[in-house]
Amino acid sequence: MEATVMHFRQGRHHQNTRQMIIKVADTPEEAEKVIGKTVTWTSPSGKEIKGKISALHGRKGAVRAIFEEKGLPGQSLGTKIKIE
């Protein structure tokens, strides 16, 4: 299954690069089914960064993903990410 990286999770003053907002589906009921699954983003050079989907984000089918070792770079915004 594929999804789209939408944005970093951020507050008023800080941006958290280890937590990303990912658009998975059109409804929250469909997005709820992927909670707990692993996500993998592949860079243009072939390096893979893995994370885990933690929770829903809003009511439009977006979820939050947390990447453990390091966050995604800015070039990942708008690209596809693989859900396993």
User: 20: which strand partners?
Assistant: 8, 65
Q: Where are the domains of the chain?
A: 2-83
Per-residue pLDDT of the chain (84 residues; tens, 9 = 90+): 999 999 999 999 999 989 999 999 999 999 999 999 999 999 999 999 999 999 999 999 999 999 988 899 999 999 999 999
Cα–Cα distance list, 16 to 5, 8, 21, 27, 32 (Å): 14, 6, 11, 25, 22
Quick one: pLDDT at residue 70? 85
Quick one: pLDDT at residue 18? 95
Quick one: pLDDT at residue 68? 87
**Architecture of the 2-83 domain:** Beta Barrel (2.40)
Quick one: pLDDT at residue 38? 97
Cα–Cα distance list, 17 to 9, 14, 33, 67, 74 (Å): 7, 9, 24, 9, 9
Quick one: pLDDT at residue 27? 94
